Structure formats: structure tokens, C-alpha cells
Copies of this chain bind each other. A is one copy, B any other.
Amino acid sequence: MDQPEQGPIAHQSAVFTDGLTLDCGQHLPLLTVAYRTYGALNAARSNAVLICHALTGDQYVGEIHPLTGKGPWWDQVVGPGLPVDTERYFVICANVLGGCMGSTGPLEPRAPGEEPWGTDFPPITIRDMVRAQKKLIDSFGISRLFAVIGGSMGGMQVLEWAATYPEHVFAAVPIAAASYHSAQNIAFHEVGRQAIISDPHFAGGKYYATGEKPERGLAVARMVAHITYLSEEALSRKFGRKLQGSQPTPHALALFGDMFEVESYLQHQGSTFVRRFDANSYLAITRAMDNFDLASEHDGDLPRAFRGTRTRFLFVSFSSDWLFPTRESRAMARALNRAAANVSFVEIESDKGHDAFLLDEPDLRRVLGGFLQGCALHAGLENVAA
């Protein structure tokens, strides 16, 4: 059997032999949580910040990626002197349950020496991901996280952390997120899933044994998702109607000939993605996102999810994000207000779309840095004063 490309990497991980019981009722007999940490845990174990990654992110938030060689994925936010200052905080980032960078998921064997789970991997929820992270945090002897921070699906996890473990989260920062996945977002995910399962190399999910991966289907899924991560303005500014290469007139374009730059860019996004991601994992995680509806876990009443909470919240949205638009962050902030919580909400003007949370946005650094600084004072954290 061919090894998946990410197989050879020895991801740092914690193994929980008592497993994990999932929302679907199934019990995973063995739970592995792959993670990375940055900085040092203080003696009081009170300076831990958990970073939750998005759909296609992973635990390598603050270092060169071992597979792609690219820089840290949140180099605008996590690092020395940055808002999540690795010289002040103990930063933890874990690969989500269902992911493909070492945590238990479709790519991992059911039991040591057995075949990968593949599509037999049970359906998971965002709350399952958070429960797995909780076990990791417990294993560090950390009773309360100073902050939980994440964008997009990472923001969904932040919400679940605050709703499920309110006593264990001092500050929560959901960025470019929503309390549920909308019909349009589900629809875009479903297109991607159909592209994957339509690829003959998908082979009903049993492709690990064939040596062929459903790369073309996964690339198409990545392409359509990538469009939703960018704003119309960003695409127009970046590419407009510029032609690839030798700039022929549009009329000379053949059906398979010269292309617009935006097409070449998307194709590149698709083809590089398949080298680092697993198709079954993409199916499992998009399903978890689609199923996310925090209010439905609390009798349809979003404020009830946070009743009596003492967690301090900062919601951040971006003006040109049409995947998780500002109105969703505002609705969550209002729900928190109705729960009498300590909540701030900032919409950042940006034309970069959903992806703005990963990009160079000085306003994000300023807002996040200020919020964390204030929280550190309230939390009585030493060594974090400006």
C-alpha cells in the first residue's frame, strides 16, 4: 500500500487511550491529538492561549510548515511581539479531530497497524473537535485557558469552547465566524464534496489502498472554496481580466489555450492543495462545519448557550467577507449582550474578503492586541503588561 505523502512526518502528538465519545453516539477507542506549542507555560499555568485553525489549516501556526515549506500560517497574529505574543503566552495549536496532519481522522488507522478509517470515520461535530482539544489542555494541567482564538471554522470552535467549557475560557475571540453555517455555505461545500466523490480515483473513499488519490476532484473543491474566501473586489484588483502569459487579444483565445490569470491562479491553488490535504478529511470537516448550529444545541436560543458566562468576548468581522458576513458576527454579539456577557464587536474595513483574517490587516493586530492586553490585566497575568 502506498503511503500518503504526509505519512512520513512524525507529528508531535498526545494519545488518549480512553478515546472519545462523539456527538453521533459512537466511541473512538483511541484518540490522537497532534499539536504544536510555542512559548513557555508559566508556573500558575495561566498564560495559555489556544489557537483554533480553519478548515484547511493545521497545528503549524507559528513555524515553517513541514510539508509545504511555507511560512507560519498566522504570521500576522502569532509570534514574538505580535498580539498573541509567544514571549508572553504559551500558545497551543492542535490539528482538529478529523484532520489529516496527525490527529485522529479518516487518514489515520482505526487501531495501530490497521487500515485507515477512510469514509468509515464517524461523522464529527465542531463540539467533538473541541472535546478533543479539551483533553489535550487537561493533559497539560491547564485548568483555564487565558484565551481561545480562531477564524472561520476556528471561530466556530471558539464559540463551542465558550459554550461548552465556560469556566475554562477567560477570553474568547471568534473572528470571521458565525453561529451556524448558512444554506449558501452548505451549498458551496456540497459542490466540493460532489467534485471529490465524482472523481473515479475516490473509489468510494477506499483510495488509500490504490496508490491513486482523487486529486482532480479535491482540486476542484479547493478552487470553488477559494473563490468564496476572496471578495469580488480582491479578485478584480488582483486579476481583473488580465490574460495569462503573452497577452493575446481575447479573440485569439482557444478553448484550451490561453487563460485569464485568475484561472491559472485558481488552478495553482487547487493543485498545491492536494499535496497537503486528504480528501476524506475534507469531506469529514466540511460536514462538521455544515452541521454547526450553536443555537440548535440550546433549544434554538443562542443567548442560552452563554447564559451566566464570565468569559470576555471579542467578535471581529471584515466588511467584504461574504462567506461569514458582518451581520452574523453582529447577531452573535447581540445574543451575548442578551446573555449579559462582556462582549466587544469590531467590524474591520477591508476589501480582502473572508481571507482577511489570515492576511496583513493592521487593524486586526491592533484590535486583538488591545483586547488581549486588557484581558491580561483583568486576569491578573504577570509579565504581560505593555
Mark A residues whose CB is within 8 Å of B: 23-25, 119, 121-123, 125, 180-184, 186-188, 190-191, 194-195, 198-200, 216-217, 219-220, 223-224, 227, 230, 232, 235-236, 238-241, 250-257, 259-260, 262-263, 266-267, 270, 283-284, 287, 290-291, 293, 296, 322
A223–B241 CB distance below 8 A: no
Task: Contact check, A190 vs B24: say whether CB atoms are below 8 A apart.
Answer: no
Q: Which residues of B are found within 8 Å of A240, using beta-carbon distances? A: 183
User: When the two chains form the complex, which single residue of B216, B252, B254 contacts A198, counting CB atoms closer than 8 Å?
Assistant: B216
Residue of B nearest to A252 (CB): B24
In the complex, given contacts A184-B230, A190-B262, A194-B266, what are 18 additional A-B residue pairs having Cβ atoms less than 8 angstroms apart? A23-B251, A24-B251, A119-B255, A121-B255, A181-B241, A182-B241, A183-B260, A186-B241, A186-B262, A187-B227, A190-B259, A190-B263, A194-B223, A194-B267, A195-B195, A220-B220, A241-B296, A322-B322
Contact between chains at B186 and A260 (CB < 8 Å): yes
- Min CB gap A259→B, angstroms: 8
Q: Is A123's CB under 8 angstroms from B257's CB?
A: yes
Number of copies: 2
Given contacts A199-B198, A260-B290, contact A239 B190 (CB under 8 A): no
Chain B residues closer than 8 Å to A293, beta-carbon distance: 241, 250
- With A24-B251, A250-B291, A251-B125 known to touch, is A195 a contact of B220 (CB < 8 Å)? yes
